[in-house]
Copies of this chain bind each other. A is one copy, B any other.
Amino acid sequence: MSHALRGPMLSFSADPSTAGQGAYEYLEDGLLVVENGRITQMGDAARLLPTLPEDTAIDHYPGKLIMPGFIDLHIHYPQTQVIASYGAQLLEWLEKYTFVEELKYSDPAHAAAGASFFLDELLRNGTTTAAVYCTVSPGSVEAFFAQSHRRNTRMIAGKVLMDRNAPPGLRDTPRQGYDDSRALIEKWHGRGRQLYAVTPRFAVTSTEAQLEAAGTLKREFPDTYLQTHISENRAEIAEVARLFPWSRSYTHVYDRFGLLGDKTLLGHCVHLTEPEMQRLWETATVAALCPTSNLFIGSGLFDLASLHRAERPVRTGFGTDVGGGTSYSMLQTAAEAYKVMQLQGQNLPALEAFHTITRGNANALDLGDKIGRLAPGYEADIIVLDPLATPPMQHRMATAAGNLQETLFVLMTLGDDRAIHRTYVAGKSVGA
């Protein structure tokens, strides 16, 4: 049975930084027809309404803005109780807060409850797809995929690989990590909407043997993802140089083990050197930038202009990095990305920001033909934004109304979870 959504709607078909106005379709009174979890039609309501069967249910959202669900390129589901932990920078922060919480996820009940809260919170914030770190415990991955499968959300997740520099209860071995990952891939990758990411945490917590095993997994299962962290913090970079004395750079470590590529997501990329950016470009590797986290943990300012340099544009996208990040909201993430860029005299127009957190991040995940757009054939992960969600937004919209770019900028600068009026997963309304 089909149903429809009606209201102002916006979707990107190209990157506005290069395609300008031609990058997006904006309908003042659009209609989106959804059937079996997919979008079957999109167009002006005036044109499409007469063609619908009489009994088609229509959710009407006048004054709102219908968009594809947001996509988060980097987030840790076991860190919902790590968020807002005081006063440490990366390496201390991992030991003091993160590992303590992650240990709890070997308990299946704790993991299930955590995954459940986490997914509901993402959906409440309009995020319908995310690339998610679980913990070292394979059970934490089971719990996550089970909850995601139940909600029918398109999620990417993986078991963290750590075989050193972590407490005993959070360490695997190259062999165990390989076997567990392999079993999880075979069970979950491509089951329903779930996708797997091979997930060595970062070079500090994996031996060469484990990075080697991760490379093997990636070769054996070429359509899985690989996600890890890189170049977030200067002490971390120094530690990687110390642990891998033969390496020319942090990027070189991952490169050596065959971990770069067009389905690899590297979290942070704050302090990359020119040769490293060159190499990310050559391998089509994706830089997942996490502004609220970089500011909160004091890691530094990512340099998007350098990453995008015309002669070797690195593929990029945004992630929240909860719990290092301070918000589940991709709106607030875009707002903080804007600040990171302003501090360096760079620009982030609202159209580019909204492109990034929808179609841009979908392309970064190589899912640009499935999610991140409102168009026939796409999976119906849809959100309804409310530009009047709070008093300051209402007040500001008195001058911004009718101007799409200003409306988007108000949404990202002043908006938060309250600006997500409704979320649809594969065509079904959730929550609210």
A: residues with CB less than 8 A from B are: 80-81, 83-87, 89, 101, 117, 120-121, 124, 295-298, 300-301, 326-328, 335, 338-339, 341-345, 347, 349-350, 390-392, 395-396, 398-399, 405-406, 409-410, 413-414, 416-417
Q: How far is the CB of A283 from chain B (nearest CB, A)?
A: 30
- The interface residues of chain B lying within 8 Å CB-to-CB of A327 are 414
A121-B295 in contact given A84-B409, A89-B342, A347-B87 (Cβ < 8 Å): no
Please give 7 more A-B residue pairs, beta carbons under 8 A apart, in addition to A298-B345, A328-B392. Answer: A296-B413, A298-B342, A298-B344, A300-B343, A301-B343, A326-B413, A326-B414
Q: How far is the CB of A110 from chain B (nearest CB, A)?
A: 11
Q: Quick check: A86 and B350 within 8 Å, CB to CB? A: yes
- The interface residues of chain B lying within 8 Å CB-to-CB of A124 are 391
- The interface residues of chain B lying within 8 Å CB-to-CB of A101 are 399
Q: How far is the CB of A391 from chain B (nearest CB, A)?
A: 6
A83-B295 in contact given A121-B391, A417-B390 (Cβ < 8 Å): no
Q: Quick check: B326 and A84 within 8 Å, CB to CB? A: no
Stoichiometry (number of copies):
2
Give Cα A409–Cα B86 distance, bound, in whole angstroms: 7
- The interface residues of chain B lying within 8 Å CB-to-CB of A342 are 89, 295-298
Q: Quick check: B395 and A81 within 8 Å, CB to CB? A: yes
Give Cα A93–Cα B399 distance, bound, in whole angstroms: 16
Contact of A396 among B81, B343, B345 (CB under 8 A): B81
Q: Quick check: A349 and B87 within 8 Å, CB to CB? A: yes
Give Cα A409–Cα B80 distance, bound, in whole angstroms: 15
